[in-house]
Amino acid sequence: MKITIIGAGYVGLSLAMLLSSDNEVTIVDKDEKKIKMINDGVSPLRESDIIKAFAENKDSIIATSSIKDTLINANLIIIAVSTDFNNELNQFELHNVESIINVAYQVNNNATIVIKSTIPVGFTNEICKKNNDTSNILYCPEFLREGKSLYDNLYPSRIIIGTKTGDPRNAEKASAFADVLKQNALSDNVQVLFMGYSEAESVKLFSNAFLALRVAFFNELDMFAESKGLNTKEIIEGVCLDSRIGMFYNNPSFGYGGYCLPKDTKQLLVDFDDIPHDVISAIVSSNEKRKEYIVQRIISLSERVKLEKRINSVVIGVYRLVMKSHSANCRNSSVMDVIYELLRLNYSLVIFEPCDIDFSRWHNVKISENEDEFKKSVDIIIANRYDDYLADFEGVVYTRDIFLRD
């Protein structure tokens, strides 16, 4: 089977690795640097499983920036481009997804088109109507953890496929695509659920909203405990030993961030529109309050250190911008918002971040590439996720990483 995957992010690359053993896979992306790396057999993403898979399968995937040429002969077209949330429009940016579908129908209206990008509820039905109620489109949301995207494709928690209700031809395509995913997965008895387009779109948004809710809940628990001088860890452990709650995804942080949770919760809030709700809006609000709280705690620590050291001002060190310990993703990181507020309050900052990040937009911030120099240049350190490297700064490291894990 000839498969074209559009988008060389975590979703696209992990799918390419999953499907390349038995199929002819081509990745399409606008980034020429990524294209060259893929064609050289080098992963453009810093995920250990993907890096290893690229090294072992150097010739199994082709990358190109030419979309039309690859779509003409494709049997399966998978759209895995990002859909960022546009705060001015108050919705996802969907023009990339729509334009790809339009091009696909211009050059190849026989291929099955699978949307993996996260989209608003109702989008797939709308795009089908614009294309004369086509039977070719499926919606298959991804449920991937950052840093574990290939693993989560090989061992999927479930496969959800949104279909056109009452269309036998579309149902056949959905079944065939599900078989492709199952055949390439390593786990047995993967549960597959077929449902309407809008139901599948809802599964994706509500899943991420619940994860965001869980983060917000334990962050609020942590604020309560820290403010009252209580032991956060003991409280969380006592709460989570209830099997209905579970001892997982409960480690406090500076707030949720990353590729999905911030934008998906905002989009779901928009999709609610005039439907009565409190919980969804509270998730978004709680995350903002968490970051405000973190800033205030950092200020309190700064004031204490100024008194102890008898200095007029402190230099705040920021240890890593990434959301998770073994990650290269700074996108929508809660640490970023904390930094912006500290800069607004005229604090001096030094950032240590070894990942390849464009710092050109940062003003009045010193970037340190050496860990020892970083330590020597700061008075306190803030860290969304702790590292043993910070041990000799005990007492002046501010982190809420209670369980030392993501």
CATH number at residue 314: 3.40.50.720
Structure tokens at 185: 């997965």
Token pair 């209905």 in the structure block, residue: 244
Phi, psi of 206 (to 5 degrees): -70, -30
Measured CA distances, 99 to 13, 81, 103, 104 (Å): 21, 11, 6, 9
Report the distance separating Cα 307 and Cα 274, nearest Å: 51
The amino acid occupying position 42 is: V
**91 with 48, same domain?**
yes
CB 77 within 8 A of CB 113: yes
**146 with 260, same domain?**
no
Report the distance separating Cα 298 and Cα 225, nearest Å: 16
Res 327: pLDDT: 64
Phi, psi of 164 (to 5 degrees): -85, 110
The amino acid occupying position 263 is: K
**217 with 271, same domain?**
yes
**178 with 275, same domain?**
no
Q: Which residue numbers belong to the known binding site?
A: 29, 34, 83, 118, 143-146, 204, 249-253, 257, 263, 323-324, 331
Residues β-bridged to residue 193: 160
Res 56: pLDDT: 85
Structure tokens at 273: 């529109």
For residue 198, is it within any domain?
A: no
For residue 201, is it within any domain?
A: no
Q: What is the pLDDT along the chain (406 residues), one digit of tens a residue?
A: 999 999 999 999 999 999 998 899 999 999 999 999 999 999 998 888 889 888 888 788 999 999 999 999 999 999 999 999 999 989 999 999 999 999 999 999 899 999 999 999 999 999 999 998 899 999 999 999 888 999 999 999 999 999 999 999 999 999 999 999 999 999 988 999 999 999 999 999 999 999 999 999 999 999 999 999 999 999 999 999 999 999 999 999 999 998 899 999 999 999 998 999 999 999 999 999 999 999 999 999 999 999 999 999 999 999 999 877 666 667 779 999 999 999 999 999 999 988 777 777 777 789 998 999 999 999 999 999 999 999 999 899 999 999 998 8
Tally of structural domains, the chain: 2
Report the distance separating Cα 51 and Cα 44, nearest Å: 8
Structure tokens at 403: 């369980």
**135 with 227, same domain?**
no
Residues β-bridged to residue 215: none
Q: Which residue numbers belong to the known binding site for NAD(+)?
A: 29, 34, 83, 118, 146, 263, 331
For residue 406, is it within any domain?
A: no
Burial class (CB in 10 A: 0-12, 13-18, 19+), 7: buried
| Domain assignment of residue 18, given as a range | 2-190
For residue 199, is it within any domain?
A: no
Which candidate in 240, 260, 330, 355 is catalytic?
260
Four-CA torsion 123, 129, 130, 132, nearest 10 degrees: 150
This prediction's pTM = 0.94
For residue 202, is it within any domain?
A: no
Of 190, 216, 233, the position where a domain reaches its end is 190
* Closest CA relative to residue 67, chosen from 131, 1, 6: 6
**Catalytic annotation on 260?**
yes
CB 298 within 8 A of CB 382: yes
Res 324: pLDDT: 73
**247 with 316, same domain?**
yes
The amino acid occupying position 235 is: I
Res 301: pLDDT: 97
* Closest CA relative to residue 159, chosen from 175, 148, 170: 175
For residue 236, is it within any domain?
A: yes
**244 with 284, same domain?**
yes
